[in-house]
A and B are shown apart, each in its own frame.
Chain A
């Protein structure tokens, strides 16, 4: 995994002794920041629980603190241009699950820890495959109650250990789509096959890009992906790989994008999103990372929005206005939810790092309109339009 320089904060080391659980005991030799294995982390928790029990048997209150994932526990780092978790120095950054008060959640965490411990300490060869979150849920559906609960706890555990979901050997069912001259785990995603779901278990070694691939086209919606995933569209010929996160992207899609950008030959990531506040936020999720998964550190600085931009609308509006109006509603008015979301975005900490996005959102608000990519889909040559946009951005 990528080791960003500010992975370990110096303040992490000073405060751990005063804290009940030595979850963050720093590695003995700081220069190579070697991660504590998952097994050690889990055993640390169990040890501290038993110690508490042994020392104060009368107060039969046990608690497991998990790092909370909120805006207050993250910050925007302009240097790395990404959202990062704050150092775990303050107890208020943790939410504790206490035994007598919250028995079900406490049991859930212990069960998860035991599943993870068993998985990580197995010595079989070959190594056991990745656990999916769904598999874990089916260990005990009556206890876990909902998949959502499990997802939340697993990501919180990863944040507490300062590891990624991948380090825990866990993956989610794939949602993202990929198309282009790329091989992942031996499967080919180009040609007339139309691409497919990103396999959840890829590793840096198992992803191979064709020689000519220099940029990635990121699309927001599956419909746009389907419109472009054939040889006729010219995506492949232009040396593009297309990724689609189906709305807000899952971790897997973002990890693949980071891998392509950081370790493969990809230089630019051209993003095609709707001209609405959600479109901007989706692009921001790729570019700066998200608050909830700040500990995963998947932010791709190279993400660049190529459409739909406000200047694309100018011709659209003037054209429809000239063409006798009223015929086709191409732009829609903002709802109050959109306006609220746009105002939230304007106040985001990463906004100063993307001044052109700020202008786009302000125009959106002032014009009072939004526009979907599909509007351009009806125009004669959609693929040509997209490629023109990407070409302009890359050149």
Chain B
């Protein structure tokens, strides 16, 4: 295929990098040939996993030793480095576990960093450039009750975090500092899901009673638009790539598109009757994807408001969806821990990955400009971030 993006066949080889999986030789990962380490006491955890990684038909110890002496044993893990956060030795290309002591409720990316936040009060910033994704910065004590949503703007300079206490913090990702706090001192229920406009000047937020508000971040920090809906809890929100449209998904299944220029509702989209947990505009701004408790991803034409497709295949609630840069693929993460990649052309699922059965709350494509190739990351109830990437090698 000549497409700049990865082909369907290669997507199937996307490899997840995890710590506790038994060590299986994976040709796609281009692991160097075996080097035997004689320092098991330095690497107790990994050594133990090697000892436990026996073939399915269990061989006797002497047989295994014979094979090892003959150079036919399982290869040792050599792709190791130190975790920059805690100093422990870990496998390369994975984050030391667990990244957060509780669930990770939200992740966001910009060209340089992946940002994660969850039930603890810190926000962590991970590097995307380096293959082992070290922890770059940790914002401590940001929201005392925990963080439930994160957003970055398309250009990548800013991030916003929404906490359970109802406050929103705006962060500068170049200087890694707090810019300002908005919606402070308001009654809880004023902010749930958030999204930033491409330039980072505006933020859209849903409320408990279904309104969708647009805030002027760098001006007064006050609402500049306020859209009323039918009063059902606003679960999700997104701003289109040109910043002109805002979409919201609600607890009762309602999906609405608002026009920021006119300040009026653009479309009320029918079709979903269960909670909509994620809405996302395609990069070109032509399509809107909405997904949630009905286990399908519905695609709508933004101009006409027609439903143009359904992606069905998940067997549990979908918490998060993300469009690839070109709009060719959609990534979705579900409550049962499954992450699926969908082709928007054929409307079929082209890859499914499962780490475990813990819910996934956030999935995101890694921006192409990050320079590490195509890939995506997931995070959820197990408190870990998993990076998936295009298989290297052939």
Q: A residues engaging B (CB < 8 A)?
A: 314, 317-318, 321-322, 325-326, 333-334, 336, 339-340, 343, 346-347, 355, 358-359, 362-363, 365-366, 368
Contacts and interface: CB of A to CB of B under 8 A. Distances in A.
B332 to A, nearest CB: 14
B317 interface: yes
A358 B274 contact: no
A321 B165 CA distance: 32
Contacts of B208: 336, 339
B359 interface: yes
A322 B315 contact: yes
Contacts of A363: 103, 381
A318 B361 contact: no
B188 A362 contact: no
Interface in B190-242: 208-209, 233, 235
Contact of B145 (A333, A336, A340, A346): A346
Nearest to B149: A366
A244 B120 CA distance: 34
Contacts of A359: 102-103, 119
Contacts of A336: 189, 208-209
A325 B294 contact: yes
B145 A321 contact: no
Give the interface centre of A318, A326, A339, A358 by most chain B CB atoms within 10 Å: A318
Given A321-B315, A340-B189, A366-B148, 8 more contacts: A317-B316, A318-B335, A326-B273, A336-B209, A347-B144, A359-B119, A362-B102, A362-B103
Given A333-B233, A358-B102, A318 B315 contact: yes
B148 A347 contact: no
Contacts of A318: 315-316, 335-336
Contacts of B294: 325
Nearest to A358: B119
Most buried by B among A314, A321, A326, A340: A321
B126 interface: no
A346 B189 CA distance: 15
Nearest to B208: A336
A355 B164 CA distance: 16
Contact of A314 (B145, B146, B274, B335): B335
Given A317-B317, A321-B316, A368-B251, A362 B146 contact: yes
B15 to A, nearest CB: 26
B275 interface: yes
Contact of A343 (B165, B251, B293, B316): B165
Contact of B188 (A321, A340, A366): A340
Contacts of B274: 325
A333 B235 CA distance: 12
Interface of B: 101-103, 105, 119, 144-146, 148, 164-166, 188-189, 208-209, 233, 235, 251, 273-275, 293-295, 315-317, 335-336, 357, 359, 361, 381
Given A336-B189, A362-B119, A314 B359 contact: yes
14 contacts: A314-B335, A314-B359, A317-B335, A321-B293, A322-B315, A326-B273, A333-B233, A333-B275, A336-B189, A336-B208, A346-B146, A358-B146, A368-B235, A368-B275
A317 B166 CA distance: 28
A157 B145 CA distance: 36
A368 B233 contact: yes
A366 B379 CA distance: 14
Nearest to B118: A362
Which 3 A-B pairs rank lowest in CB-CB distance, beginning with the nearest? A346-B145, A318-B316, A362-B119
A366 B105 contact: yes
Nearest to A345: B145
Nearest to B381: A363
A334 B208 CA distance: 10
Nearest to B102: A359
Contacts of A326: 273
A352 to B, nearest CB: 11
Contacts of A355: 101-102
A358 B146 CA distance: 10
A325 B273 CA distance: 11
Tell which of A317, A322, A334, A359 has the most Cβ of chain B within 10 Å. Answer: A359
Nearest to B106: A366
A99 B283 CA distance: 74
Contacts of B317: 317, 321
Contacts of A368: 233, 235, 251, 275
A365 B381 contact: no
Contacts of B251: 333, 368
Given A317-B317, A321-B316, A365 B148 contact: yes
Contacts of B316: 317-318, 321
Contacts of A339: 188-189, 208
B145 A343 contact: yes
B99 to A, nearest CB: 15
A314 B101 CA distance: 20
